[in-house]
Amino acid sequence: MNVLVTGGGGFLGLYIVEQLVDAGETVRVFCRGEYPRLQELNVETVQGDIRDAEAVLRACEGIETVYHTAAVSGIWGAWDYFYSINTQGTLNVLEACQKQGVTRLVYTSSPSVVYDGAAHENATEKLPYSEHYLCHYPHTKMLAEKAVLAANGEQGLATVALRPHLIWGPRDNHLIPRLIQRAKSGRLRQVGDGTNLISMSYVENAAAAHLQAAARLFADSPVGGQAYFINEPEPVLIWEWINQLLSLAGLPPVQKKISVKAAQRIGGVLEFVYRMLHLPGEPPMTRFLASQLSSSHYYDISRARHDFGYQPIVDFEEAMRRMEPELKRLAAQ
∠270-240-139 over CA atoms, to 5°? 40
* Active-site option among 35, 67, 115, 137: 137
Q: Is 137 a catalytic residue?
A: yes
Residues sharing a CB contact under 8 Å with residue 260, sequence separation 6 or more, in sequence order: 191, 192, 290, 294
**Is the separation of the CB atoms in 9 and 72 below 8 Å?**
no
- Residue count (the chain): 333
Distance CA 79, CA 111 (A): 19
Q: List % helix, strand, coil for the chain (3-state, nearest 5).
A: 45, 15, 35
Distance CA 164, CA 110 (A): 6
Please provide the distance, in angstroms rounded to a whole number, between the alpha carbons at the two ends of the chain. 42
DSSP H or E segment with residue 66: strand 65-68
Q: What is the DSSP string of 238-288?
A: HHHHHHHHHHHTT-PPP--EE-HHHHHHHHHHHHHHHHHHT-SS--S--HH
The residues that are catalytic are: 137
